[in-house]
Every structure is written in structure tokens, then in C-alpha cells.
Structure 1
């Protein structure tokens, strides 16, 4: 083999490792499949700010909302696997969507390389203050006595809030009337009493709950959440297997070199140690949580399987 050929072969074999040694050498884009100014967007920008400090290069958020997060997710799946385009995945985009649609322009399992979990948001049973039940156990008794007597808001058929409500109904043996809000927030109507219940992650409702404009009847988790110590868990209401979590995590296009994934995961784990950021997540009923790529891959696989059963039981299909 000639010296030139040997040099080329050596360069090819060492390419990913050498690239990882100098990574990152330019700005990193994070595709976020949700609109600017939303709660998930705020979370994405906070973590981008932390990564900017830790990686020594600008990390910025590129919002690609639309089509129930399909537009942004497809763009991320088709990006170059070089570590300079990343993606914020969620429960809805990677665990739920694959079960709602027969065909998608991406493969949620094969097109992404997990980097790290970002954080989880406990799901709450949120109610208008005039709902007579004081907790989840009393609400279940009310609904069993009077099926369909309460209207439950959702952010559209097949949305996280809708499926979390369907799961609750199946687990508790109760029936509710679901009212979908496909293009607007339901919280105004919930506070006005036009709908009485909603199942959702807590950031959007936490302030109104503390102000007494809404009340929290139950929350997911193995133990009571420190931000809402007086609120019983769903397990205390008799539903030990009801455990929906709204999560966000960082992923890269499939084929991104493992050394780069590990570098990013290490940065995420360092970012999760920021006490101010961790406290923000606690205050709205969540937990800032970073993982290794392998642990995040297992987390997504388990979550996707769990939501598959929920979607099948609810008989929801969007195509």
C-alpha cells in the first residue's frame, strides 16, 4: 500500500474519533418541534444556554412547529449526523405519535440517537375550584356514581392531555366527556368553569393552582411531589399503575458518532447540576434529570411501549 493510500485509510478510520476530539468547533442547532414562547420552548432555551457555557460554542434553538410536531421531527431525522444539529424529543413526538399514525415521514425508533433525558414533568389531575371532590379518590367516586357528568379539556384528539385522560378513565373505571381544544389553550375555559377537569403536565397550571384559580386533585409519582406536598398521588387514589410522564430529551440524528453523543451527554449531566434550573423544574412539578445515552434509549423504549397500550386501549387512530 502506498504512503498516500495509507494516509487516506488512516484518516477514514480515525475520522469520527478525530472529529470528536475537536467537537464542537462551531455553533450547534437544536430543532424544537414546538412554537416559540411555549413552556417546552422555554425549557429548550434554558438547556441551550447551559450547553453554550459548557461546550464553548453557541447552542441555539430552531423552532419548527406544526403538524403535531411532525414537521420539526422530520427535519431533525433528516439532518446530517455530525453533532451540529440536535433535537428535543418529547413524550408526544417519540412515544405517542408512532402509535397514532400508520405512516410517518420518520422512524421514531431508528432515525434518532438518544443523548440524554432533559427532564420529566409529573402529570396532574387539574380541576376547577368548584368541583366538589377534594382529591382523586373522591373524584373517582363521583364519576362512578355519575358517569360523563364532568367535561374534561384536552389539547386535541390524540394529544398527551387526551390520552392521559383516557388512561385515567380506563384505569379507574370511569367515564368523562372529552372536549378537544385543537388550536387554543383550554386553561381559560377551565378557570371559567366551562370545562371542569384536565390532565396535563403542571408548568402551565402551577401558577393558577397556587393562586387558587385551579386546584390539583392528584399527581403522578411514587411519592408526593415536594412542590405540592399536600396533593395525594394517583397511587393514593387507588391507581398504582397510572403513571404518565411528560418528558423532554436531547437526541441527535442516527449515525452521529458515539464519542460526540457521549460528549453531549456529559455536558447535559453537568447542566442538570445547575441548582437554579433544577429548582425551576421542581417548582412546576417536575424534575431536571440527565442520563447516559444508553439509559435514555431504555427509557424511551419503555415509555413508547407503555403509550402503545394506552393508544390501543383508547382505540385512537389519526390516519
Structure 2
């Protein structure tokens, strides 16, 4: 290339690219937007994702729909999202499990959780509860720990299988409380029927699946994560109040885009999510089952994921759990 053309041409090409990206972002979205959800249709997380998609549809003025890609602990859907074209028309619902936990459970994954996605916004968090059968002869954490010390075989903790959120939350509690838990894994069936019946005594989980039965008195809530008591369960102490200050697992959902998605589009999506999070009806839904609807900046969400991933990495390391 002619030296003069080189000096003039390269900046011009770069400028043209910036102008093209800016114009694209200004017109975005010009068609429907797909959100890949790495969980099955009809589940609690799916319902949350569809509620968010409906609010984003209102804000963006284009249809935002959920594409369920369940399987392999969320790996199938996460890989599909990581490989999608980074044009803003395929997004991804990331979760505690897929982006904070799974990367520590497998030595090889078909995606890089830290590099293959651009954070857009946190969508919401679900506080974790220590959920018990009413038959348990303990009504708070201190009484529970005393019972477990005096009768180690009297308390069994249900989980949704090795490496699941419920299992690793229980491991985290055990480390924090310096106690050994007896885990009962339910790999394919929900543990809640047995928890209601008193066949198992405890479970650590986000609260949507249990909130109705807790309010009805069919299950009891001994403690909840969070810096303050949750307004839906004002009589339930936090784990910090119960003497377990460093136990802080939360189940979260967040909106991400494939790495390489133009910043202007990411910023527009983040702003749209913050507007969607102002929906009073949706915010009340999240509060009703122990959660909180969120909306933040890409930088804030990136920092949140990094901190959460580090915490779960320490739990997985201590628990010595590997799934490959």
C-alpha cells in the first residue's frame, strides 16, 4: 500500500467501523431478541427469565423471547450462548450454577465462563434459606447445631445431587459452622415431598420452591442469607444474626451477551434492564419468594460475578467435589 494511503486509510477504516457500530447500536434492536436459558421450560428459573423477557419487550419495543437449552448442569445452553454471533440478538441468562459453580467442578468445559461472555446486568437475587420439616425439634440455627452435636444421625440434609447448589450451600454451611452434615442426594426427583413428610429434615435452597409451604406452616425457615432480614420473612433471622457470619450463598440470574458484542449495544441493554427492574409488579413477585429484583451496570455485574465465582471456588475446593 502507498505510504500516504496507509497513513490516511487505516484511520479512515477504523473511523468507518466506529460509525457503523454506532449506527447499528442506534437502530438496535431492529428485530426479535433471543435469550438462551440453560434450564428447562416450566421451572422456577424459566418463569423468572420469561418475566424479565416480557418486561424487556416493553422497554425495547421488540419481542424478547426465551430459548430453553437445558442439560448437563447448564453446560449445553451456556456453550450455545458462548458460540452465538455477538450482535446483540442472542443473549444469555447466566446463573450462580453455570457461571460461578460449574467452572470449578469440571477440568474441561466447552466455554470459558470468564472470557466468553460480556456481562450486561444482574437481573435478580434469591436469598438462600435453611428450610426444615416442621417435625425438626429445633427452631433456630443454634438449637439445630446443638441437636446435631448431641444426635449426629438425627438430621439428614436433602440435596439435588452432588455439586448442586443445595449440596454446595450445605457444604459451605458445614465449613462455616464447623459441623459435619449428613447429605441425602436426590439426583432426579425433587426432595421437597420427603422434606414435607419429614423423611429428611433440612435443605439449603433458594426460596421460590418453598415459600408457599413456609407461609402455610408446612415447612419452617430457620435462617436466611442477606445483610438484613427479608421483608417477606421479617421474623426469620439472618445467618449472621444466628452466629454464622461468613455463610452467604445467593442464587442469582443475570443477563449476558457473547463476548465481542458492541459496547454501545451492551450499554443499551443494561439501561433497558434497569428500566425493566422498576416494574412494581415484577419487583413484588421477587420479594414474595425471598428475592430482590436488580438492575445494574456491566461493570458492576462483572465485579459481582468475579467475587461470587471466587467464593464458590473456595467452597468447591474445600469440599473436594469434582464431576469429571
TM-score, normalised to structure 2's length?
0.95
Mapped contact 1:148–1:176 kept (Cα < 8 A): no
Q: 2:254 aligns with which of 249, 262, 271?
A: 249
Q: By how many angstroms is 1:7 displaced?
A: 8.0
Residues 95, 4 of structure 1: alpha-carbon distance in 2 compared, 3 angstrom cutoff? closer
* 1:69-90 alpha-carbon deviations (Å, 9 max, x no partner): 0000000000000000000000
> Does 304-313 or 2-11 show the bigger shift?
2-11
CA distance in 1, matches of 2:118, 2:156: 40
Secondary structure of the corresponding residue to residue 51 of structure 1: helix
Mapped contact 1:151–1:178 kept (Cα < 8 A): yes
Residues 18, 316 of structure 1: alpha-carbon distance in 2 compared, 3 angstrom cutoff? same
Mapped contact 1:49–1:59 kept (Cα < 8 A): yes
Q: 1:293 aligns with which of 291, 298, 307?
A: 298
Aligned residue for 1:259? 264
> Does 80-89 or 173-182 show the bigger shift?
173-182
> Does 289-298 or 148-157 show the bigger shift?
148-157
Q: 1:240 aligns with which of 245, 248, 254?
A: 245
Q: By how many angstroms is 1:183 displaced?
A: 1.2
Residues 4, 169 of structure 1: alpha-carbon distance in 2 compared, 3 angstrom cutoff? closer
Segments of 4+ in structure 1 off by > 3 A? 1-11
Q: By how many angstroms is 1:10 displaced?
A: 4.8
Residues 192, 309 of structure 1: alpha-carbon distance in 2 compared, 3 angstrom cutoff? same
* 1:229-281 alpha-carbon deviations (Å, 9 max, x no partner): 11111111111111000000000000001100000000000011111100111
- Count residues in correspondence: 319
* 1:77-124 alpha-carbon deviations (Å, 9 max, x no partner): 000000000000000000000100000000000000000000000000
Aligned residue for 1:149? 154
Is 1:69–2:74 an aligned residue pair? yes
Q: How does 1:1-319 map to 2 (within 5 A)?
A: 1=5, 10-319=15-324
Q: CA RMSD in A?
A: 1.6
CA distance in 1, matches of 2:177, 2:149: 9
Secondary structure of the corresponding residue to residue 75 of structure 1: helix
CA distance in 2, matches of 1:288, 1:271: 9
Residues 11, 165 of structure 1: alpha-carbon distance in 2 compared, 3 angstrom cutoff? same
TM-score, normalised to structure 1's length?
0.97
Q: By how many angstroms is 1:5 displaced?
A: 9.9
Residues 148, 317 of structure 1: alpha-carbon distance in 2 compared, 3 angstrom cutoff? farther
Q: By how many angstroms is 1:310 displaced?
A: 0.5
